[in-house]
Chain A
Amino acid sequence: QVQLLQSGAEVKKPGASVKVSCKASGYSFTNYGISWVRQAPGQGLEWMGWISAYNGNTNYVQKFQGRVTMTTDTSTSTAYMELRSLRSDDTAVYYCAREGNDILTGYPIDYWGQGTLVTVSS
């Protein structure tokens, strides 16, 4: 069965960076892409961007451009999301989720990781 297993909770100081991992299993990793979605406490879902596990192409939401980097390691079927220059309003649960392999092709998010809580506090 498809599983996305994320790394554990993180506590970071303002200005620091965080790197969250997402290990995929139960499917052919390079046949899909990975989206990253975050959810601030008590708030809705916010799409941050996407990476193709096939060729590494990325598509980031403009508000995160310059602060986020999404990568994949096909040898371990793992996706990573690094967010830099953290602020208190980056405190959120960060989810990885399986999506299509081409941002131009309409394919929905169909599986989600369990989420990683990132707390930014001085």
Chain B
Amino acid sequence: EIVLTQSPGTLALSPGERATLSCRASQSVRSDCLAWYQQKPGQAPRLLIYGASIRATGIPDRFSGSGSGTDFTLTISRLEPEDFAVYYCRQYGSSPRTFGQGTKLEIK
């Protein structure tokens, strides 16, 4: 089983700042099958990034993903008020599929 470790657990930033979220895998993720999801309170998660770096339909270009192998990053270039939420990474290249434990992005 691939264990995904996200850091930091909580990130406090102000609107307009840049956010960098990390997701590290315990072994290489096949074909960069790594996705990022955003979840707001009381809502289902929403797909932001798949294939490590491909933005899903309708996702603003301030969201970008990078990385390969075991180290992946989600970057939000300029935080908007609606971006404060919990972010999860997930690998879908092997079974069992696994999620990271999440990074909470909160307003400073």
A residues contacting B by CB (< 8 A) are 35, 37, 44-47, 50, 59, 61-62, 95, 99-100, 103, 106-115
Main secondary structure of the interface of A (DSSP, over half): loop
Interface locus among B15-23, B28-36, B68-76: B28-36
Closest to B98 in A: A47
> Does chain A have a CB within 8 A of B99?
yes
Q: Count residues of chain B with CB under 8 A from any CB of chain A.
A: 25
Interface residues of B (CB under 8 A from A): 30-31, 33, 35, 37, 39, 44-47, 50-51, 56, 88, 90, 92-93, 95-102
Residues of B within 8 A of A111 (CB): 47
Interface contact B92-A99, CB-CB below 8 Å: yes
Contact B44 A114 (CB under 8 A): yes
Q: Is the pair B44, A47 in contact by a Cβ cutoff of 8 Å? A: no
Q: Which 3 A-B pairs have the closest CB atoms?
A: A106-B33, A112-B44, A108-B50
